Amino acid sequence: MNGKNNIAIGFLTMGLFMAYGFLLIYLRDFAPGKEEWINSYSFGKHFESRLAHVHGNLFAFLNILIGYLLLHFRDKLKNVKVISWLSLTGILMPLGILAEIYLGMSPIFVLIGAIAMTASVIWLGISFLKMKTNT
């Protein structure tokens, strides 16, 4: 895995969370009981669902960007496969939020995903600092 899967899964994840945004619009503007949904804007399931939507799209975009950079610089960077896997694992964070909301699951996937994405971004940044450039 050298970045291609990050790009593909990033776009698929982004599409999923964009579609989820349409559900959120429905719940806000058209669903029965929309007033209750609007009144819970900053707490509970409403707040958590917006966190999942925003982080899902952010982490999808990060996977696209990281995947592109890993593909482009794979011959100059070390640990490309590990960074790629950590970035993909990061998608567990927004999926974990959804699993908490809709399935009542533990927040463990949120923590695993957040730590993995943070580690991949920091590791890639350090890798670029250490990268030898041809001058």
Burial of 52 (0-12, 13-18, 19+ CB in 10 A): buried
Greater pLDDT, 132 or 72: 72
pLDDT, tens only, 12-71 = 999 999 999 999 999 889 899 888 877 877 788 888 999 999 999 999 999 999 999 999
CA–CA gap between residue 113 and residue 91 (Å, rounded): 6
Q: Output the pTM of the full model.
A: 0.91
CA–CA gap between residue 106 and residue 122 (Å, rounded): 26
CA–CA gap between residue 89 and residue 104 (Å, rounded): 21
pLDDT, tens only, 88-124 = 999 999 999 999 999 999 999 999 999 999 999 999 9
Residue 131, number of CB atoms within 10 A of its CB: 11
pLDDT at 28: 87
Q: Give the total residue count for the chain.
A: 135
pLDDT at 2: 83
Residue 135 has pLDDT above 80, yes or no: no
44 Cβ partners below 8 Å, 6+ apart?
Answer: none
3-state secondary structure of 89: helix
pLDDT at 36: 82
